């Protein structure tokens, strides 16, 4: 599909995510039809869109002309059949229930033109199973937006078992054209964001159950340190900074003490340490630092950390 010639996008589901996705599309020049069986929800969604646009205006992220033009591009319908004839890309954002999503995709498949790409904003459900409700599984893809969609840059693009390269690339290019940062994921349970997010929250809940610390102090672990550090570097870059031999020692100790499988050192980590690929200090770890000045990397890391802490008024 030629993304440059695309004009019309349909969003099915006028809830928290649906209205936000519709807003992003409208701000980027697309004609958007927002569909929901509940007319009241469509009215609420349009009111919320106006509220969100005012917020973006107050933050200097758009001007009044942008705001007025975006509003003229959004319409609402209560029947899918009224929003599919010319739709080139459809995003489903209905509640997280497999049977409901499959019902919506079956109807979309029957009504949309053959070339239309069908995307799901599911945060956990398998794209391949959703695609089974259609006769075009090659044109079904996952696009998991983060909340709020009109601010957060990341969107997970999930490749189902039968999603074609053309469909995957079309979704990626469309998102990039709208200023988003797409990351590609296999159709694994929970995808990437929620797998990593809920691993963290699950351990926080375990520590609370054990009486290890107060809720306030457990939150501070993230707001005063981990969240800040991981804002500046991903998990593998952070591991390289710590030193993979140190990481292996710590994980091995936790595994022996707690007998919890999630702390069992991964085969990849063990292999790195055996090969003396220890991270930043050895010039190679999960990332390759050969040919770069390690002192410059550390200096830049510290500069960004100080800048962020100052912006957050934490120092």
Residue for token pair 């050969």: 290
Give which of 251, 270, 267 is closest to 259, Cα–Cα: 251
Half-sphere exposure in the Cβ direction for 151 (13 Å, CA): 10
Residues forming the active site:
123, 144, 156, 194
Query: How wide is the angle at C-alpha 243 spanned by C-alphas 240 and 245, nearest 5°?
Result: 125
CB distance 197 to 136 below 8 Å:
no
CB distance 22 to 11 below 8 Å:
yes
Going from the C-alpha of 51 to that of each of 31, 55, 147, 149, the distances in angstroms are: 20, 6, 16, 14
**Phi and psi at residue 238, to the nearest 5°:** -65, -40
Hey, how many other C-beta atoms are within 10 angstroms of the C-beta on 62? 15
Q: Tell me how far apart the alpha carbons of residues 47 and 52 are, in angstroms, rounded to a whole number.
A: 9
List the end-to-end C-alpha distance of the chain, in Å, as a whole number.
50
| Pairing verdict, β 154-159 and 140-145 | antiparallel
Going from the C-alpha of 66 to that of each of 45, 58, 72, the distances in angstroms are: 19, 13, 10
Q: Say whether the peptide bond before residue 246 is cis (omega within 30 degrees of 0).
A: no
Residue 157's H or E segment, with its range, is strand 154-159
């Amino acid at each position: 599909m030629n993304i440059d010639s695309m004009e019309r996008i349909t969003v099915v589901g006028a809830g928290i995510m649906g209205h936000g996705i519709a807003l992003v599309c409208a701000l980027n020049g697309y004609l958007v039809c927002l569909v929901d069986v509940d007319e009241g929800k469509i009215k609420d969604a349009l009111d919320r869109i106006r509220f969100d646009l005012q917020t973006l205006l107050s933050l200097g992220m758009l001007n009044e002309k942008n705001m007025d033009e975006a509003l003229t591009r959004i319409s609402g319908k209560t029947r899918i059949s009224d929003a599919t004839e010319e739709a080139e890309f459809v995003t489903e954002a209905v509640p997280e229930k497999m049977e409901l999503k499959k019902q919506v995709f079956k109807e979309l498949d029957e009504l949309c033109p053959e070339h239309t790409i069908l995307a799901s904003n599911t945060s956990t459900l398998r794209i391949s199973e959703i695609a089974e409700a259609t006769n075009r599984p090659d044109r079904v893809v996952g696009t998991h937006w983060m909340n709020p969609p009109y601010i957060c840059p990341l969107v997970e693009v999930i490749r189902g078992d039968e999603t074609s390269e053309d469909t995957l690339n079309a979704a990626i290019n469309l998102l990039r054209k709208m200023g988003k940062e797409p990351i590609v994921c296999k159709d694994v349970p929970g995808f990437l964001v929620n797998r990593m997010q809920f691993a963290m929250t699950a351990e926080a809940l375990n520590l609370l159950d054990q009486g290890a610390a107060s809720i306030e102090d457990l939150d501070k672990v993230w707001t005063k340190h981990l969240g800040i550090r991981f804002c500046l570097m991903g998990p593998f870059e952070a591991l390289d900074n710590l030193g993979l031999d140190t990481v292996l020692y710590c994980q091995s100790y936790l595994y022996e003490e707690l007998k919890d499988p999630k702390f069992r050192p991964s085969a990849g980590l063990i292999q790195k340490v055996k090969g003396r690929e220890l991270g930043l200090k050895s010039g190679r770890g999960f990332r390759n630092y050969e040919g770069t000045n390690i002192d410059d990397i550390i200096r830049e890391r510290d500069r960004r950390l100080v800048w962020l802490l100052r912006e957050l008024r934490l120092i």
